[in-house]
Amino acid sequence: MQRLTVLGSTGSIGTSTLDVVARHPDRFQVIALTGNSQVGLLFRQCVQFKPRYAVLLDEDSASQLRQSLREAGVDTEVLCGVEALEQVSVLPEVDAVMAAIVGAAGLRPTLAAAKAGKKILLANKETLVMAGNVFMDAVHASGSALLPIDSEHNAIFQSLPHNYRGDMQRSGVSKILLTASGGPFRKTPLADLQNVTPEQACAHPNWSMGRKISVDSATMMNKGLEVIEARWLFNAGADDIQVVVHPQSMIHSLVQYIDGSVLAQLGNPDMRTPIAYGLSWPERIDAGVAPLDLFKVATMNFEAPDFERFPCLALAYQALRAAGTAPAMLNAANEVAVAAFLDRQIPFLYIPRVIAAVLDALPVYPVHSLDDVLGADAEARRVAELQIRQVT
């Protein structure tokens, strides 16, 4: 029996995780669930999974949930605040933590889980982008098992030798081929991008996801963040990771070997596949996903990424090469710019401009500790807000 904490259980990854968990009551037990403020959904999840703890961010929502659970006769203890997120990530009775909070808010609890030696199912890519070396050091020091949930990284993980220890050369790996759908604006006339709305940006052709990652997919910053994520997960250099645009999203990524072999993982675009693999690794379990019908897919296409159309991708490579605090600043500026776009304060094309201005304005420092990361994150948010105030 694997005992789980699901951070961000009310989100897209969180609900998909619970969907897989519900299919295997003999294998998984939910110890803690957390959400931002979605009281109704978290209530229904508590009724279904009877966790020992539920966490919400503010006291108002927490007392609402407490009352509903009492009335329903469910004895889940409701905790509140950011410290509680860390608390439920390190509980001695928890074996594995699904890190599915969106954005920088996921960093602290995910890092706490790593320090506590929990098995980590990592969906929150921002943790690795912001604090790659700090996080990987914690994982290595505690001996945590780190399972990538991001579909591309899960595919790479599945396509690498099972005993891969972070040495590409020794494993005969010559390149990591990271696939990208190209998002909803792959073919939109450039002149029209100025006026695209949050609704258009969030309407991804292949995947249904939270709003922040959907906008990231539309700018291809998501792929940029994933390049940085791959750098840390697989100990690869920027030049070892090639982005390949593959609009059908059937191949979830590939690994190229020195003998000419290329191994890939394919499947329908459904996050329950990588989630199930992370949960059951090294075994496999039913994920509720329909089998891939290659005759229906019929054709698969591949294109080189267009760095002019997607400047965010170039900015991510730039930050990766600059190293130190640069990726944390990239991530923070992106979070602020995406929130402003979703709030209709800035046009779509201003997202990369805000990020570029932040990277230009701030010096890069080496990262030795979490404080270095959090300092860079705060500073980048401040400069990004200033940039946004200039347009609004």
222 is in an annotated binding site: yes
CB 154 → Mg ion: shortest distance, Å? 9
Burial degree of 4 (CB within 10 A; 0-12, 13-18, 19+): buried
- 372 contact choice in Mg ion, ligand NAD, none (CB below 5 to 8 Å, kind-dependent): none
- Chain centre distance of CA 174: 25
Separation CA 113–CA 95 (nearest Å): 10
User: x/- contact string, 258-277, with ligand NAD (CB under 6 A)?
Assistant: -------------x------
Contacts of 298 by beta carbon, 8 Å cutoff, 6+ apart: none
Per-residue binder mask for ligand NAD (CB under 6 A), 34-53, x = binder: -xx-x---------------
Q: Within positions 105 to 144, which residues make up the interface with ligand NAD, using CB under 6 A?
A: 105, 123-126
Distance between first and last Cα of the chain: 53
Tell whether residue 210 is among the known ligand binding residues.
yes
Question: Which member of 4, 20, 80, 101 binds ligand NAD (CB under 6 A)?
Answer: 101
What does 45 interact with, of ligand NAD, Mg ion, none (CB < 5 to 8 A by kind)? Answer: none
Distance of alpha carbon 37 from alpha carbon 250, whole angstroms:
34
Residue 147 interacts with ligand NAD (CB under 6 A): yes or no: no
Q: How far is the CB of 167 from ligand NAD (least distance, A)?
A: 26
Distances 365 to 128, 162, 225, 230, 382 between C-alpha atoms, Å: 17, 35, 19, 22, 17
Edge to edge, the sheet with strand 146-148 lists 77-80, 53-56, 28-34, 2-7, 96-99, 119-122, 146-148
Among 5, 14, 186, 310, binds ligand NAD (CB under 6 A): 14
Is the backbone of residue 220 left (phi > 0), alpha (psi -120 to 50) or beta? left
- Quick note: the x/- pattern for Mg ion over 112-151, rule CB under 5 A, is --------------------------------------xx
Considering the complex, state which of residue 115 and residue 125 has its C-beta at the smaller distance from ligand NAD. 125
Q: Are 154 and 229 in contact (CB under 8 A)?
A: no
| Tokens representing residue 218 in the block | 């539309």
Out of 46, 102, 114, 255, which residue is the one contacting ligand NAD (CB under 6 A)? 102
Residue nearest to Mg ion (CB): 150
DSSP notation for 319-360: HHHH-TTHHHHHHHHHHHHHHHHHTTSS-TTHHHHHHHHHHH
Q: Pick between residue 42 and residue 315 the one whose CB is nearest to Mg ion.
A: 315
Could you tell which of Mg ion, ligand NAD, none binds residue 380, using a CB distance below 5 to 8 A set by kind?
none
Residues numbered 152 to 191 that lie near Mg ion (CB under 5 A) are 152
285 touching ligand NAD, by CB under 6 A: no
| Cβ-based neighbours of 29, under 8 Å, separated by 6 or more | 1, 2, 3, 4
Q: Which is nearer to ligand NAD, 270 or 372 (CB)?
A: 270
Tell me: is residue 162 an annotated ligand-binding position. Answer: no
Residues that bind ligand NAD (CB under 6 A): 8-14, 35-36, 38, 57, 100-102, 105, 123-126, 150, 207, 209-210, 213, 271
The annotation places the binding site for NADPH at: 10-13, 124, 126, 210
Residues that bind Mg ion (CB under 5 A): 150-152
